[in-house]
Amino acid sequence: MNRRRSFNGGRLLVGLAIAVFALISYFGSKEYNPIIEEDQYIGITPDQEIALGLQAVPEMTAQFGGLHPDVEAQGFLDSVCRRLISNSDAGQADWPYECSLLVDDETVNAFALPGGQVFLTAGLYNRLQSEGQLAGVLAHEIGHAVARHSAQQIARQQLTQGLTGAVVIASYDPQNPNSAATGQMAAVVGQLLTMRYSREHELQADRLGVRFMGEAGYDPRSLIDVMNILAEAGGASPPEFFSTHPNPENRIEAIEEAIQVEYPNGVPDGLIQ
């Protein structure tokens, strides 16, 4: 009995040490992002972030059929991308921005890799009806890069894995198979928290997209049109709590609020739609 108590106590101490280390590592990674004016917890350096993104480019490009051969469409994408970077606060971030059109015309998607590599599938590009809508898609993805969401996700995943591992070690009892359920529940909770962080990042990227669009001379209301396009293309979706992206209706509401903050007197005339 004493040996078992000692064994249990040892597990608790090891679990506590792992949890403390995970927390210290996470909260010790705080950095200030001057563009979004927020403190962030970052898991990797900017150079590591850029390298990680560039390393993933070939695989992600191949996954969506490669780069699109339409030179005119790619040129249009480049011009809108350059306008956003050159005329908004996004240009203050020292990322090697590049916007690329992908062949896949079935998938309706756009995404940003760490460090500023932005991709848009032909499936989404062909559904867009205006330059402003294209700017909205790109501004949203550029917002992910500016806010360093990938680096934040890495830091949060490291924290979640550390705390989950601590719970598993501290709660596991080889003489009680049911004790494994505690560790499994901790893993599920950690996954749901990570999804919630992803949803928060999507909403923040929408708000940054509104800001960058306006600064570059685009009508941010075009981003609402993009949400409607995505809603039509998405069909049935899982409950928001179990999804990494907010429901389109909630995103539209958040975009409208962001527009009201940026333009309390109304969106001015003359912006590109």
**Predicted local distance difference test score (pLDDT) of residue 186:** 43
**Predicted local distance difference test score (pLDDT) of residue 42:** 86
On whether residue 270 sits in a domain, the answer given is: no
**Predicted local distance difference test score (pLDDT) of residue 2:** 47
On whether residue 38 sits in a domain, the answer given is: yes
On whether residue 268 sits in a domain, the answer given is: no
Q: Which domain holds residue 120?
A: 2-262
**120 forms bridges with which residues in the sheet?**
101, 110
Supply the pTM of this predicted model: 0.79
Residues of the chain with pLDDT under 50: 1-4, 6-7, 179-183, 185-186, 188-190, 192-194, 236-242
Which amino acids are annotated catalytic? 141
**Predicted local distance difference test score (pLDDT) of residue 185:** 46
**Predicted local distance difference test score (pLDDT) of residue 19:** 67
On whether residue 119 sits in a domain, the answer given is: yes
Number of residues assigned to the chain:
273
On whether residue 20 sits in a domain, the answer given is: yes
DSSP element (H, E) containing 97: none
On whether residue 269 sits in a domain, the answer given is: no
On whether residue 271 sits in a domain, the answer given is: no
CA distance 262 to 116: 24
**Predicted local distance difference test score (pLDDT) of residue 152:** 85
**Predicted local distance difference test score (pLDDT) of residue 241:** 43
On whether residue 267 sits in a domain, the answer given is: no
Domains in the chain, number: 1
DSSP secondary structure letter of residue 267: P
**Predicted local distance difference test score (pLDDT) of residue 168:** 61
